[in-house]
Amino acid sequence: MKIGVIGLGTVGFGVVDILTQQKERLEKLIQEEVVVKYGCALNEVTLPDGIIYTQDFHDVLNDDEVDVVVELIGGTTIAKTIILEALKKGKNVVTANKALIAHDGQEIFEMAMKYQSKIYYEAAVGGGIPVVVPAKEDLVANEIEKIEGILNGTTNFILTLMETDNLDFEEALTIADGLGYVEADASLDLDGKDAAHKICILAMNAFEIFFDFHKIQCTGIRGVTKKDIDYAKKLGYRIKLIAQAKKLENGYGIDVSPTLIGIKDMVANVNQAYNVVEITCNYLENVIFYGKGAGRYVTASAVVSDIMKTHQPTMWQHQYQYVEDIFPITYSKYYIRCDHPLDIDYEMYYSQDHDHIYITNPIELNDLKHQLQNESYNLLKVRG
């Protein structure tokens, strides 16, 4: 097995390190030599002896000896070109590119099937948490009914700080940014887009469908206030950014939104930069995947696992049906904060100072908004 790693940032270097340090053990596992032949990046770097440095990804793609191309540059432009060209040449591909798989997965998978190449992308969803492969292979006896989880460590870290350190959103964001948790494009984290990319990939495989990524409704955490976090805690809840996907009678519900989770729920107690994915299916019922969702060696470990997987026979297929019927999940309980009493059907009520807080009974969001027309309020989804 000869490998070309394109993209030598944090994760790329982690992949090279693991493949170098674990070379002998990995070779014993697959009974084949494991060689990193190329490291490709725009800026020259120092690589272990024997690895060829190049600035031109064509050197990797045009080398017939390279049978695995690892794409770690990110984005949806050059990365797409690299992956499609590699697949056309019959090379296997490993990527951590969640945005590209979410936006262009159908085209990429169809190319892989046409040229009988393999593509794996475990690191695109949970960093080092194994969830894509188990959901696609180990749950094959089951029909997956619902997926829910915390899929973005940055927002989880910020919400944790707001609660535990008594900080407002901007203060917590500044700390998270200083620690390197926030993407260069902060909107990917804060507006829920990163979590949407990941739930898109999980839903695609779980329900065997392709769909337009832009139909996923995203609400990020910018509107979550310290006051709402405090009130939620008094009512027995904790606020998390939850991505979810499930089958509906008329299609599929997929969305990302800040959500109140009961404090006794396991998901509510996933804090700091950790991720969790809960899968509900017909036979196994519930299974939970938990761990760190980012970091050099955390993510690189998933990439290396995928590289080893290219050597094995695969049962993976992506012959999915394209569907139009993608909707936000709007039937739910809701948290409402208003500066005066409201005439609504509720399960729980609390008041403090000039604030009136309600947890509604389950209701369609449009019906609730109709009842609240001309009112000024804060509203969040409630799980359960």
Q: Which residues are annotated as a binding site for L-homoserine?
A: 183
- CA-nearest of 362, 333, 360, 365 to 347 is 360
Name the nearest CA neighbour of 166 among 222, 223, 225, 219: 225
Q: Residue type at 323?
A: V
Contact, 144 vs 281, CB < 8 A?
A: yes
> C-alpha dihedral over 98, 102, 108, 112, to 10 degrees?
70
Binding residues: 98, 183
- The set of residues, in sequence order, having a beta carbon less than 8 Å from that of 114 and lying 6+ positions away, is none
Catalytic residue, from 37, 91, 198, 240: name it. 198
Mode of pairing for the β-strands spanning 68-71 and 2-6: parallel
Residues of the binding site for NADPH: 98
Give every CB contact of residue 51 below 8 A, 6+ residues apart in sequence: 16, 36, 37, 38, 39
Asked about 198 being catalytic, the answer comes back as yes
- Give yes or no for a contact between 68 and 2, defined as CB atoms under 8 angstroms apart: yes
Q: CA of 221: how far to CAs of 2, 22, 172, 365, in Å?
A: 43, 40, 12, 19
Residues known to be catalytic: 198
